[in-house]
């Protein structure tokens, strides 16, 4: 049975700055759990699978079962239901609050945070699986139980039409359908596996023109696997990293992409590619050689969110036809070697300063792969391996790769604010004290190493990250919300919540907030907005928009205002003039970005209800109110105009994609959207003007509570922000509904009480019986044929060492005996039987 491990880190090569406090990962323990508990888990898994098209979000039942076993809490207060004609009394609200807090406290870890599922995107897991397969470490890092649960997850989130979307609620795309199919085959699924699921996936791909139309990021991963020519990718010359600092170039995920593309990482998928050729997924048989350029730029409409313009097409064409051939010739090839070395230094810097967690899952897989290509026996590569599990989470829908290594700090900050807003803090002193300790243990204590300017880093000291300090990346709004929570806790008795955080550490937090304000008054997420919006004209991603720079957001700007105002009340003399100027500029920014209809676009949540709540709250915190601010009046009118007949609010993720407010299907309400809208209205004094809309909405929240004091899982309410803006994708899922909805409901009810009071180089595919090939090249240009021959000649020489390498890999990452013992009873997956050459010697860098 799967077991959640918290704040542990015993693996070799693992480092931490706070003794791993906040770390969360799953391990399979064959001795864990009773037969009854295992039967219950199987029942939950079957229930999800049977209802997967109706309810696409898991409810974290596996985690909750484990917590219920150790933190059982009997809710003695009766469940409350309010009829339409009934009034909401103070007693009803108080009872609902106590039931919510009593249950929520049982989900808290001993180190003070709330573990949770942070999944949703479907393009993250393929990158990890492809990287591990290429490195020959798939079976060692992901034992059979892991692979089975990953297959379960992918099957559970396959759409009815046979495809996969960018995220679990999204419509099917070529990007995720092709990568999910590849991933399932690598994980051991047969060509006809999944009770017809694999066949349906192939049909979807063929019906949509073939896999040649996968967008650029998909082409990159297929090239890593060796089933797509690198020359079919748009070039990302690493020489750009040698340009002076003032050149406006994007510098995050691009660093590892430029290394991979320029180094031509190639792996020949001999275990899957056979000696036969067939059209497989390519709809245009035999004629692809005459239409290579369109396939370099080919895409499907369902994948295209950010189309390439003429300027970008001219740029890529020039780089490919003139610049790249020029740079590959002596003596300029020496410059390429120098540039690749510089890129690797940036990768190592990021890895070391994030304890090999990296800023996110895409960087994690790419950085790890680059370290392995550089030296498969390097310490850097070995340090990457034990951090893989930090991104993996299992629930009743299977095992997924999360959009971050968790949301620990963010959740704790809002949980503290919610509990303290009830005036029941002393009744939940233990919960608050543990949360307080977590906040203190999670603050970043020092800047990143070396010359920050050289490595394009902002200061870090004093900030708070989204997850854990080992991640190493402070975020503006996370810092502001943690600062608010720390100040609220400082005003509580020390014998209840523990000693207050030291003043100098609060000063450090204020310093980093002030340093993150841009000239226009707005706040971005990780850093200052260092470059220009026009860089989006060369955004190569196709499926992602607004990813080239760190933009400013209403949410981050509002949080900064609130955090600074809270601090100023406690320490009015500290940098008062700077704080006042900062707040004034931030208020002006929020006012200038308000939309004509009164809303604000939310980049970190779905969508206008979220952004408008933050817009109102920031303005209110600055001292404005409904009567002296036209922006607040317009915002309230907007929210009231979107209230549903049921009394709640329910906003679709399509609002984020189309940038037009869109209700959920059938005008259903959503707990979290309802809570956000109510919080905004209550902040603006709606109860004094007309409390009826609030009463109607409160009934929706109260009546949604389950008997155990929890709230039901509903649709995801988060997207990644505009910085990564995977649009529908929820890559940085700021709030999962199940646990966190308690925070929003608590805040609302308390406030209510107070208010009342690229191309294919002729790639061929095959899915034949016996030897199931997948993608095949019929023209081995650019050294591909020679590389393949080298690999074939080296297989026999290296095969004898493969078992020793895998055993060494297992030892390096500290796999438990439970994995190894359990594996003895499991037959290897069919793919492993077809892949005799599954070890690290089969990936070589092509000549530069």
Q: Which residues contact 612 (CB under 8 A, 6 or more apart)?
A: 598, 599, 600, 602, 635, 638, 639, 677, 680
Polymer length of the chain: 848
- Asked if the model's pLDDT at residue 339 lies above 80, the reply is yes
Among candidates 734, 747, 184, 299, which has minimal Cα distance to 541?
A: 299
Distance CA 400, CA 396 (A): 11
Q: Which two tokens stand for residue 787?
A: 């590389």
Of residues 490 and 278, the one with the higher pLDDT is: 490
Task: Judge contact between 587 and 618, C-beta under 8 A.
Answer: yes
User: DSSP states of 264-278 as a string?
Assistant: TEEE--TTT--S---
Residue 273 shares a structural domain with residue 421: no
Domain limits at 651?
Answer: 408-756
- Asked if the model's pLDDT at residue 840 lies above 50, the reply is no
Residue 342 shares a structural domain with residue 359: yes
Distance CA 256, CA 162 (A): 32
Task: Judge contact between 220 and 260, C-beta under 8 A.
Answer: yes
Q: What is the pLDDT of residue 324?
A: 82
Query: Long-range contacts for 515-521 (Cβ within 8 Å, ≥24 apart)?
Result: 515/458, 515/459, 516/458, 516/476, 516/560, 517/560, 517/582, 517/585, 517/586, 518/552, 520/552, 520/585, 520/589, 521/557, 521/584, 521/585, 521/586, 521/587, 521/588, 521/589
Q: What is the pLDDT of residue 732?
A: 25
Q: What is the pLDDT of residue 788?
A: 33
Distance CA 195, CA 424 (A): 52
Q: Which two tokens stand for residue 499?
A: 């000693």
Of residues 256 and 477, the one with the higher pLDDT is: 477
Task: Judge contact between 813 and 14, C-beta under 8 A.
Answer: no
What CATH number corresponds to the domain at position 296? 1.50.10.20
Among candidates 291, 95, 46, which has minimal Cα distance to 745?
A: 95
Strands 172-173 and 164-165: antiparallel
Q: What is the pLDDT of residue 798?
A: 40
The number of domains in the chain is 2
- Asked if the model's pLDDT at residue 268 lies above 50, the reply is no
What percent of the chain is modeled with pLDDT above 90?
55
What percent of the chain is modeled with pLDDT above 70?
74
Distance CA 228, CA 212 (A): 9
Structural domain contains residue 298? yes
Structural domain contains residue 32? no
Q: Which residues contact 757 (CB under 8 A, 6 or more apart)?
A: 90
Quickly state the pLDDT bin for 305 (edges 50, 70, 90). low
Mean per-residue pLDDT, 402-408: 95
What's the burial of 46, exposed, middle or buried (CB within 10 Å: 0-12/13-18/19+)? exposed
Residue 433 shares a structural domain with residue 347: no
Q: Which residues contact 596 (CB under 8 A, 6 or more apart)?
A: none
Min mean pLDDT across 84-93, 182-191, 311-320 is at 311-320
Residue 114 parent element (H or E): none
Distance CA 146, CA 826 (A): 12
Q: Which residues contact 331 (CB under 8 A, 6 or more apart)?
A: none
Q: Which two tokens stand for residue 442?
A: 């999670």
Q: Which two tokens stand for residue 264?
A: 């031509």
Quickly state the pLDDT bin for 795 (edges 50, 70, 90). very low
Structural domain contains residue 278? yes
Structural domain contains residue 275? yes
Q: What is the pLDDT of residue 751?
A: 61
Q: What is the pLDDT of residue 501?
A: 96
User: DSSP states of 765-834 as a string?
Assistant: ----SSS----EES--TTTHHHHHHHHHHHHHHHHTTHHHHHHHHHHHHT--HHHHHHHHTSPPPHHHHH
Residue 383 shares a structural domain with residue 442: no
Residue 177 shares a structural domain with residue 235: yes
Residue 341 shares a structural domain with residue 412: no
Structural domain contains residue 155? yes
Q: Which residues contact 15 (CB under 8 A, 6 or more apart)?
A: 355, 356, 383, 470
Residue 247 parent element (H or E): none
Residue 324 shares a structural domain with residue 419: no
Q: What is the pLDDT of residue 290?
A: 27
Q: Which two tokens stand for residue 459?
A: 């200061």
Mean per-residue pLDDT, 87-103: 89
Of residues 688 and 267, the one with the higher pLDDT is: 688
Distance CA 64, CA 758 (A): 44
> Of 725, 756, 787, which marks where a domain is finished?
756
Residue 752 shares a structural domain with residue 785: no
DSSP letter for 321, please. I
Residue 59, Ramachandran bin (φ over 0: left; ψ between -120 and 50: alpha; else beta):
alpha
Residue 656 shares a structural domain with residue 718: yes
Mean per-residue pLDDT, 161-172: 93
Task: Judge contact between 773 and 274, C-beta under 8 A.
Answer: yes
Q: What is the pLDDT of residue 331?
A: 83
Quickly state the pLDDT bin for 454 (edges 50, 70, 90). confident
> Of 756, 791, 816, which marks where a domain is finished?
756
Q: What is the pLDDT of residue 303?
A: 64
Task: With H, G, I as helix, E, B as strand and everything else as coil, classify residue 848.
Answer: coil
What's the burial of 368, exposed, middle or buried (CB within 10 Å: 0-12/13-18/19+)? buried
Mean per-residue pLDDT, 371-386: 95
Structural domain contains residue 53? no
Residue 340 shares a structural domain with residue 466: no
Structural domain contains residue 103? no
Q: How high is the mean pLDDT of the chain? A: 80
Residue 719 shares a structural domain with residue 647: yes
Q: Which two tokens stand for residue 281?
A: 């997924």
- Asked if the model's pLDDT at residue 827 lies above 90, the reply is no
> 685-701 pLDDT, tens per residue?
999 999 999 999 999 99
Neighbour tally for 707: CB within 10 Å: 9
- List of E strands, 214-297: 265-267
pTM of the model: 0.84
Mean per-residue pLDDT, 24-28: 97
Whole-Å CA distances, 480 to 4, 406, 474, 506, 618: 30, 18, 10, 10, 12
Q: Which residues contact 322 (CB under 8 A, 6 or more apart)?
A: none
Among candidates 508, 502, 390, which has minimal Cα distance to 436?
A: 502
The one catalytic residue among 117, 390, 397, 477? 477
Q: What is the pLDDT of residue 165?
A: 93
Residue 312 parent element (H or E): helix 310-318
Q: Which two tokens stand for residue 525?
A: 């997420």
> 695-738 pLDDT, tens per residue?
999 999 999 998 888 888 876 655 443 322 322 232 223 333 33
Residue 309 shares a structural domain with residue 429: no
Structural domain contains residue 341? yes
Distance CA 148, CA 28 (A): 12
Q: What is the pLDDT of residue 292?
A: 32
Asked if 477 is an active-site residue, the reply is: yes
Q: Which two tokens stand for residue 782?
A: 């650019």
Distance CA 706, CA 741 (A): 12
């Amino acid at each position: 049975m799967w077991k959640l491990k918290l704040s542990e880190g015993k693996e070799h090569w693992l480092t931490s700055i706070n003794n791993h406090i906040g770390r969360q990962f799953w391990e399979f323990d064959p001795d864990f759990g009773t037969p009854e508990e295992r039967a219950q888990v199987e029942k939950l898994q079957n229930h999800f699978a049977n209802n997967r098209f109706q309810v696409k979000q898991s409810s974290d039942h596996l985690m909750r079962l484990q917590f219920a076993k150790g933190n059982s809490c009997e809710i003695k207060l009766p469940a409350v239901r309010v009829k339409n004609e009934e009034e909401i009394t103070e007693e009803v609200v108080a009872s609902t609050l106590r039931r919510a807090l009593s249950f929520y406290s049982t989900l808290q870890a001993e180190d003070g945070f709330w573990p949770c599922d942070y999944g949703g995107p479907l393009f993250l897991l393929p990158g990890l699986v492809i990287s591990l397969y290429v490195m020959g470490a798939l079976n060692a890092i992901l034992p059979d139980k892991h692979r089975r649960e990953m297959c379960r997850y992918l099957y559970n989130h396959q759409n009815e039409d046979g495809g996969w979307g960018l995220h679990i609620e999204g419509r099917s795309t070529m990007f995720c359908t092709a990568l999910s199919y590849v991933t399932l085959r690598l994980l051991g699924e047969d060509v006809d596996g999944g009770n017809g699921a694999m066949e349906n996936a192939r049909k979807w791909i063929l019906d949509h023109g073939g896999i040649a139309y996968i967008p650029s990021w998909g082409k990159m991963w297929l090239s890593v696997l060796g089933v797509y020519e690198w020359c079919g990718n748009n070039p990302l010359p690493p020489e750009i990293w040698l340009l002076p600092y003032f050149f406006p170039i994007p510098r995050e995920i691009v660093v590892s992409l430029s290394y991979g593309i320029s180094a031509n990482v190639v792996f020949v998928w001999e275990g899957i590619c056979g000696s036969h050729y067939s059209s497989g997924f390519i709809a245009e048989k035999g004629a692809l050689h005459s239409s290579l350029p369109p396939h370099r730029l080919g895409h499907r409409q369902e994948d295209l969110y950010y189309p390439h313009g003429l300027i970008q097409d001219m740029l890529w064409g020039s780089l490919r036809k003139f610049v790249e051939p020029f740079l590959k010739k002596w003596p300029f090839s020496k410059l390429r070697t120098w540039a690749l070395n510089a890129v690797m230094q940036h990768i190592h810097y990021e890895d070391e300063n994030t304890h090999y967690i990296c800023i996110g899952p895409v960087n994690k897989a790419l950085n790890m792969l680059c370290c392995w290509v550089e030296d498969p026996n390097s310490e850097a590569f070995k340090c990457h391996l034990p951090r893989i599990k930090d991104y993996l989470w299992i629930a009743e829908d299977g095992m997924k790769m999360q959009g971050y290594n968790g949301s620990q700090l963010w959740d704790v900050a809002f949980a503290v604010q919610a509990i303290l807003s009830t005036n029941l803090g002393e009744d939940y002193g233990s919960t608050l004290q543990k949360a307080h300790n977590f906040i203190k243990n999670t603050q970043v204590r020092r800047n990143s190493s070396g010359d920050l300017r050289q490595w394009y880093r902002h200061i870090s000291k004093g900030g708070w990250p989204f997850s854990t300090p080992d991640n190493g990346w402070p975020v503006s709004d996370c810092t502001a919300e943690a600062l608010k929570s720390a100040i609220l806790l400082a005003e509580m008795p020390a014998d209840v919540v523990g000693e207050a955080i030291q003043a100098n550490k609060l000063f450090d937090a204020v310093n980093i907030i002030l340093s993150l304000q841009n000239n226009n008054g707005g706040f971005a997420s990780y850093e200052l907005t260092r470059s220009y919006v026009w860089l989006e004209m060369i955004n190569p991603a196709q499926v992602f928009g607004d990813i080239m720079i760190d933009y400013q957001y209403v949410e981050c700007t509002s949080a900064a205002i609130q955090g600074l105002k809270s601090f100023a009340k406690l320490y009015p003399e500290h940098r008062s003039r700077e704080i006042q100027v900062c707040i004034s500029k931030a208020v002006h920014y929020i006012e200038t970005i308000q939309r004509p209809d009164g809303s604000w676009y939310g980049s970190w949540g779905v969508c206008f209800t979220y952004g408008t709540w933050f817009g109102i709250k920031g303005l209110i915190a600055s001292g404005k109110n409904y009567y002296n601010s036209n922006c607040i009046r317009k915002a309230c009118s907007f929210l009231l105009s979107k209230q549903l007949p049921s009394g709640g609010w329910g906003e679709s993720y399509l609002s984020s994609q189309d940038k037009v407010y869109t209700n959920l299907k059938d005008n259903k309400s959503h707990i979290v959207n309802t809570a956000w809208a109510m919080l905004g209205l209550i902040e603006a004094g709606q109860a004094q003007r007309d409390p009826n809309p609030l009463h109607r909405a409160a009934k929706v929240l109260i009546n949604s509570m389950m008997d155990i004091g929890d709230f039901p899982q509903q649709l995801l309410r988060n997207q990644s922000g505009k910085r990564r803006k995977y649009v529908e994708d929820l890559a940085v899922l700021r709030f999962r509904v199940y646990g966190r909805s308690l925070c929003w409901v608590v805040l609302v009810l308390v406030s209510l009480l107070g208010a009342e009071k690229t191309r294919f180089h002729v790639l061929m595919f095959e899915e034949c019986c016996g030897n199931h090939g997948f993608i095949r090249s019929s023209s081995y240009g650019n050294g591909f044929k020679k590389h393949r021959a080298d690999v074939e000649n080296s297989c026999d020489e290296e095969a004898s060492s493969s078992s020793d390498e895998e055993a060494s890999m297992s030892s390096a990452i500290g796999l438990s005996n439970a994995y190894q013992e359990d594996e003895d009873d499991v037959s290897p997956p069919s793919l492993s039987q077809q892949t005799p050459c599954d070890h690290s010697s089969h990936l070589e860098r092509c000549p530069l």
